[in-house]
Amino acid sequence: MKVAELLVKCLEQEGVEYVFGVPGEENIDLMDAFYDSPIEFIVTRHETSAAFMAGTYGRLTGNPGVCLATLGPGATNLMTGVANSNMDHAPLVAITGQAGLDRQHKISHQYYDLINMYEPVTKWNAQIKSASITPEVVRKAFQVAGQAKWGATHIDLPEDVASMEVDGEPLTVANRPHTEARKDMIQQAAEMIKEAENPLILAGNGIARQEAIEEFRAFIDKSQIPVVHSFMGKGSLPWSDDLSLLTAGIGGKDYITCGFDISDLIIAVGFDMAEYPPKNWNPDGKTPVIHVDTEEAETDENYPVALNILGDIKANLNQLTDAAETQKQDSSWAANVRKQAIDEFQSFQADESFPVKPQKIIADLRSVLGEKDIAISDVGAHKMWMARMYHCHEPNTCLISNGLASMGVAVPSAIAAKMANPEQNVVAVCGDGSFQMTGAELETAKRLNLPIIVLMWRDEGYGLIEWHQMKKFGQASYIKFGNPDYQKLAASYGFEAMRIESAEELKPALEKAVSMNQPVFIDCPVDYSENMKLTEKLGDIIC
């Protein structure tokens, strides 16, 4: 058989269901090998979208998603989505076609050294230079991508190697080892927690990655320590729980920042430092941290690790629960922080002003979606509002890219999320700036007959950049753009398209979209004058 056929057999051995990508000349042997494979190849409209889909599929299933591009511009387009998955710790395996070995020593059409290009944005990458190493390369790519912490790996396949004849078989997929912290470390952590006057837990995405939700909630139930979530850790504790202090991560002061100010011990569980810099919540670096994760944290003067609890998060949480005592300190401060955040969320539910305020859009969306339905936020001003105010009952029900935080992620991710969770409603929350970056994937959603909902917040510009400009300079520059008729555009792709003309129309439109079971696009004008009002409000908070 050809190397391309053996590589596809290796993917089958790894349990791959889908490969997302764009075909090209240098990967035609792979495309032909997929033709008779049970793996379904999903043709996308852009390589970046393919990587976004693969990353989201990996995040939600726990199995590395796979994306494919050809060499040159295909590979460079793919790289943004690969980097996004690597920084967000989503398991992904990227495969690129490449120029033949016979022309890699010289300047050649579309040839770049992809191994060196992909090195900084992956955990591991390699080129298949010899036909016989194909099973080893594929097995290692999946092994490394799926190791804690998850991330991206890359396989580069030269076109002449892809067509070589080879004898070989896929390697066996081995179970991943689990390690636990020593008993004395667990006991030391329990003593530190007991002695703290105001301990606070920072819940990160690692809890969901390690499927440790039940164990985490049992630990909270036993210890009675308040919990604040990172953007990507949302839902680790249901937002209805009295110990949930909701979400932190917006720059500057917020109600939740008061919790960090009061705390004398932070227990960071599954926390990814890239998404919420410690200097934002521990500015003087004086509050000690118990670091509960699969690996040691990045060295940071504002993240003073007093104790590492490393290994399987699920197992170590079980140990901590057994060793922990119920906190008896006064936690009225936590109840006050929670009340302020929830009061703000509820205060705009009946707002009738138009364009629609961000708080109202979120309140309507939250009221329509079920506890296990999925909202996916793109990157922009709407992301800050969604992260701060869209509260979750379950993990991975509000997906936010907060590592690389690349614009354009929502629509492709919604496609992958619906494929991974067909019984759940999936809503892509986009700005008009981020939507246009990958909006062509509406065709992909329609072709696959995926009933996703796209909720676009329209403000005719790059709202988040304007927000930052106004805060720093008091004026905005170069952030406005024109827009098409989105209702006609979405309809041309086969979506049921709606335009919101008053605040009262939004909730019924969302309810209708959920009931239709077909692709739906909702164009909703948003009032981003609320951005600076929020900045002023947060500036007045006194802890």
As a whole number of angstroms, the distance between CA 12 and CA 164 comes to 20
- Secondary structure (3-state) at 497: strand
Handedness of CA 418, 421, 425, 431 (dihedral sign): negative
Residue with token string 């199995």: 63
CATH architecture classification, 347-539: 3-Layer(aba) Sandwich (3.40)
Q: What is the pLDDT of residue 260?
A: 87
Residue with token string 């090195």: 119
As a whole number of angstroms, the distance between CA 239 and CA 247 comes to 9
Q: What is the pLDDT of residue 270?
A: 96
Helix 332-346 × helix 255-262 angle, to 10°: 170
Which is nearest to 339 in space by CA: 458, 256, 266?
Answer: 256
Q: Per CATH, is 183-337 categorized as 3.60.20.10?
A: no
Residue with token string 């042997």: 29
Residue type, 148: A
- Give the Cβ contact number of residue 529 at 10 Å: 10
Which token pair is 290?
Answer: 């118990």
Is the distance from CB of 380 to CB of 434 less than 8 angstroms?
yes
For 3-162, the fitting CATH number among 1.10.540.10, 3.40.50.970, 1.10.580.10, 1.10.3720.10 is 3.40.50.970
Which is nearest to 392 in space by CA: 206, 223, 518, 203?
Answer: 203
As a whole number of angstroms, the distance between CA 351 and CA 211 comes to 38
Pairing, β 520-525 against β 426-431: unpaired
- Secondary structure (3-state) at 297: coil
The helix or strand, by DSSP H or E, that contains position 427, with its residue range, turns out to be strand 426-431
* Per-domain boundaries in the chain: 3-162, 183-337, 347-539
As a whole number of angstroms, the distance between CA 329 and CA 344 comes to 27
CA within 13 Å, CB half, 166? 23
pLDDT tens, N- to C-terminus, the chain (543 residues): 999 999 999 999 999 999 999 999 889 999 999 999 999 999 999 999 999 999 999 999 999 999 999 999 999 999 999 999 999 999 999 999 987 777 878 778 778 899 999 999 999 999 999 999 999 999 999 999 999 899 999 999 999 999 999 999 999 998 877 888 899 999 999 999 999 999 999 999 999 999 999 999 999 999 999 999 999 999 999 999 999 998 887 766 677 777 788 899 999 999 998 888 999 899 999 999 999 999 998 899 999 999 999 999 999 999 999 998 887 776 777 888 888 888 887 888 888 999 999 999 999 999 999 999 999 999 999 999 999 899 999 999 999 998 899 999 999 999 999 999 999 999 999 999 999 999 999 999 999 999 999 999 999 999 989 988 998 999 999 999 999 999 999 999 999 999 999 999 999 999 999 999 999 999 999 999 888 887 776 655 555
DSSP tag of 163? T
Same fold flag, 3-162 and 347-539: yes
Which token pair is 139?
Answer: 């097995």
Q: What is the pLDDT of residue 539?
A: 59
| Interval 10-63: pLDDT, tens | 999 999 999 999 999 889 999 999 999 999 999 999 999 999 999 999 999 999
The helix or strand, by DSSP H or E, that contains position 116, with its residue range, turns out to be helix 114-118
Is the distance from CB of 420 to CB of 20 less than 8 angstroms?
no
Burial zone of 401 (CB within 10 Å; 0-12 exposed, 13-18 middle, 19+ buried)? buried
Q: What share of the chain is helix, strand, coil (3-state, %, to 5)?
A: 45, 15, 40
Which token pair is 233?
Answer: 């850790």
Q: What is the pLDDT of residue 111?
A: 82
Name the pTM for this structure.
0.94
As a whole number of angstroms, the distance between CA 341 and CA 344 comes to 5
